[in-house]
A and B are shown apart, each in its own frame.
Chain A
């Protein structure tokens, strides 16, 4: 079974721009969660999508948004980028129903200059 894939793996953007990251979950998984990892804050939960609906949301500003498609693939969008948005963005998939285990992709490294 193929694992979680994320594209692109690396991105460099300028302050004020917007960015869209993509995540393809493990086949059969209906839940996708997004996390931000920074050296200072560690891994922080952004939001979770299940069956195309946002089911949980972390404490991030509205500039961070996401969506999920009918094939469970998910995208995350960050608008009006700030220097502090530089981070590793990880997505994780799970069944979303009978299991808490989440399986992570390799991440997208975003650098904002």
Chain B
């Protein structure tokens, strides 16, 4: 039973355009969401997060949107750069289990020059 789903295994975009990565969740107890980027042979790197009391959080080229009613969040990268090519993981947690992040299976982003 996957509580966090990333339905697109891969995404290809042109350099300079917008990349939109999507994530759906089923557990209404989740109150915090995070995005991680992972390169091969490295651990995941924290990118950006959002609390369930917000619907948007921005950090430079990265923006995360949260739609609680739809149990959906998305990560926007604008403009996309070739160095953004990596696997992106969506993760969720709730206050009763802070140290336990539930991860989606990831979306491989390829940004073409």
Contacts and interface: CB of A to CB of B under 8 A. Distances in A.
A106 B49 CA distance: 21
Nearest to B51: A100
B24 to A, nearest CB: 15
A90 B100 CA distance: 13
Contact of B89 (A31, A43, A96): A43
B102 to A, nearest CB: 7
Contacts of A100: 32, 34, 49, 93, 98, 101
Nearest to B105: A42
Interface of B: 32, 34, 36, 41-46, 49, 89, 93, 97-106
Interface residues of A, number: 25
A64 interface: no
Contacts of B46: 101-104
A106 B99 contact: no
Contacts of B49: 100-101
Contact of A56 (B45, B97, B103, B104): B97
